Amino acid sequence: MAKVYYESDADIGVLRDRKVAIIGYGNQGRAQALNLRDSGVTPLIGVRQDETQARAEEDGFATAGVADAAAQCDVLMILIPDEVMPQVFDESIRPHLNEGDAISFATGYNVAFGLLTPPANVDVVMIAPRMIGQGVRDTYVEGSGFPSFVGVHQDATGNALAVCLAIAQGIGTTRSGALELTFAQEAELDLFTEQGFGPAFGQVLMGSLQTLIDAGYPEEAALIEILLSGEFAYSMEKIREIGFFKQMELHSTTSQYGSMTRGMRFIIPELHDKLAEVLKEIKSGDFAREWTAEQAAGHPMLAQLREMRTMHPIAEWERKTREAFRMDKPED
């Protein structure tokens, strides 16, 4: 059974005599900073001097440049984009780390794939929300919290887990549960969802739309039926709330019979093989190496793929459907 930490396992008091900085004030940075402050620990925000700094100050936080914040504080929550993190870390954070400091990440990616190697004399922890930044804030305010994966990569002081759980409590995730994983496991799971589950699911979605449209159904009807009515999203939410099989009882017996009998046809061994292949590339580090090389080359493949994406007919199908069902909000 995986180890899950809750409120009673954590003590935010561990942070009270530490100086905490949040480096980055974007999706996660802002949400985590607001939550942490509401939990009684006000972080210094390490940002560049631009509109992001202005936003942090409007929210009532003290700010400093990234290097300055790293120099002033001894617990550094690094919440900037993963692509820039190794360079920012080496240039602006590493030179200011002192023995016994703690650094935390919201994903294990850079450390797990060897793109960022922290010095041996600091604690290295992970609190990786399974939630977008806005959700991190909203669920905190509602009082419900959100799930996350947490882990200690390096325990230089003997206190790393306590610091990790204190941050986890401060941002609100121990309210619902923080599951212990290694940095590598977290990064691999995250990438697998993005590269395996997501695209496989996307293909089923696109294939279903195309099948209906090829059979002569109006594009707007296909889009509403499969996706845009919200019925499917509602069923997904019910799966989360009450369980995969239990939610089936919310559907008619015709639906249950049809889906279970025809469902057997979609047990395709090749799908499993493809998913396993994607996971293998992730675990071997092949994907991380490929992505690092793509970034170094200036994203030529990404640009090409984004261009191809704009040519897919779904954009036009969606536009027509949204117009027909008056789904788009009027311009401000």
The residue assigned the tokens 């493949």 is: 301
Closest CB to ligand NDP among 65 and 218?
65
Query: Which DSSP letter does residue 329 get?
Result: P
Closest CB to ligand NDP among 30 and 317?
30
- The amino acid occupying position 299 is H
Relative to beta strand 75-78, strand 102-105 is parallel
CA–centroid distance for 225 within its chain: 29
Minimum distance from residue 153 beta carbon to ligand NDP (Å): 14
Closest CB to ligand NDP among 79 and 222?
79
Closest CB to ligand NDP among 26 and 218?
26
> Rounded to 5 degrees, what are φ and ψ at 172?
100, 5
C-alpha closest to that of 106 among 11, 23, 198, 197: 23
H or E element at residue 88: helix 85-88
Minimum distance from residue 133 beta carbon to ligand NDP (Å): 5
Q: Which residue is nearest to ligand NDP (CB)?
A: 26
Minimum distance from residue 305 beta carbon to ligand NDP (Å): 20
Minimum distance from residue 311 beta carbon to ligand NDP (Å): 27
At residue 280, the 3 state secondary structure works out as helix
Give the residues lining the site for ligand NDP (CB under 6 A): 24-29, 47-48, 50, 52, 66, 79-82, 84, 88, 106-107, 128-129, 132-133
Minimum distance from residue 82 beta carbon to ligand NDP (Å): 5
Minimum distance from residue 267 beta carbon to ligand NDP (Å): 32
Length of the chain counted residue by residue: 332
Closest CB to ligand NDP among 118 and 321?
118
Closest CB to ligand NDP among 128 and 165?
128
Closest CB to ligand NDP among 129 and 196?
129
Query: Which DSSP letter does residue 175 get?
Result: G
Minimum distance from residue 216 beta carbon to ligand NDP (Å): 40
Number of helices followed by number of strands (H, E) in the chain: 16, 9
- Read off the tokens for 82: 């993963």
**26: buried, middle or exposed (CB in 10 Å: 19+, 13-18, 0-12)?**
middle
**Number of neighbours of residue 131 by Cβ within 10 angstroms:** 21
